[in-house]
Amino acid sequence: TPKTLENADYFPVIHGVSKAAMVVVLGVLLALQVYFLSKLFNSKVALVYLFLVSFEPYLVGIHRWFHQTSLETFLAFTSILALLLWYKTGLKKPLIVSAVLLGFSLLAKITTLILGPVFLAIFVTRLLKTKDLKDLWIFAACTIATIFVFFPALWVAPGYVFSKIYGAVSGAVSGDIRSELIPLWVQPFYYLVTLGLKLSPVTLVLGVMSFWNLRKSKDFTVRIFFLTFVVYYLFFTITDQKIDRYSIAFFPIILSLAAVYLAKAKLRVALVWG
């Protein structure tokens, strides 16, 4: 009997199956993102986004590492896109898809909770127009049901589970030793510096250009992208945990804005358009 899983002769099989499963899940989520972007904008934006994601080295690397941060980020972003499609069309199917994906994202990592203001902004904006709370209750019910069904520990020992969640959240907000390794004056800019180091040069330039040119956009989806970026940045900055891998959360937002900018600027990407 091996003392550790990593030293077992069957570990390469387990490792390969785990990585393959993660790649398949992330591939399906990417396909959903492309679909939702094509409905929210157009096929050009969706294909440019696909191109940018496929050739972003750090993003691809983290995906192949099959870490929870990668799964959480893609689930949460796809959930936001689905909810935006519901906002645009009023259809129930994207609403339910968004709720289920949000539930899975919360199961992957509790960090998804920080996106509460983003989901709330989408719902409040639509509810101010429709005055109908039914969709909000459907969304909440589907999210809770997803968490409950796929998290059996919650049925067996809810007190223990919630205490562990509280400990994880409080540990992330304060008391993390890694924050002491970074100078105090650098901490507010930590994730900006990290993005500057992790993004490819092309994406970095496109990201800056898209942020500048789309900053006054009236498009609701673009505004939600900006809000998501700000919410992530504020919460990641005020917490003690400073981990470069968390910068992955910003990648889908930056790449989406870059795709919108490129499409609006009518610039051609050779490998996409020929």
Structure token digits, residue 93? 């199917």
User: Quick one: which of 262, 266, 243, 264 has its CA closest to 254?
Assistant: 262
Mean pLDDT of the chain: 87
Distances (CA, A) of 27 to 34, 51, 240, 259: 11, 13, 32, 19
- pLDDT (mean) for 218-225: 96
pLDDT above 50 (res 274): no
Query: Where residue 141 falls among pLDDT bands split at 50, 70, 90?
Result: very high
pLDDT confidence of residue 176: 59
Q: 181 pLDDT band (50/70/90 cuts)?
A: low
Identify the pLDDT of residue 146: 96
Top-confidence residue, 267 or 214: 214
pLDDT digits (tens, 9 = 90+) for 35-57: 999 999 999 999 999 999 988 98
Question: Is residue 88 very low, low, confident or very high in pLDDT (cuts 50, 70, 90)?
Answer: very high
Q: How far apart are CA 17 and CA 23, in angstroms?
A: 10
- pLDDT reported for residue 47: 94
pLDDT in tens, 145-177: 999 999 988 888 888 888 887 777 666 555 555
pLDDT of residue 17 exceeding 80: yes
DSSP 157-172: -HHHHHHHHHHHHHHH
Per-residue pLDDT tens over the stretch 185-204: 677 888 888 899 999 999 99
Determine what percent of the chain falls in helix, strand and coil, rounding each to the nearest 5: 80, 0, 20
In this prediction, residue 121 has a pLDDT band, given cuts at 50, 70 and 90, of: very high
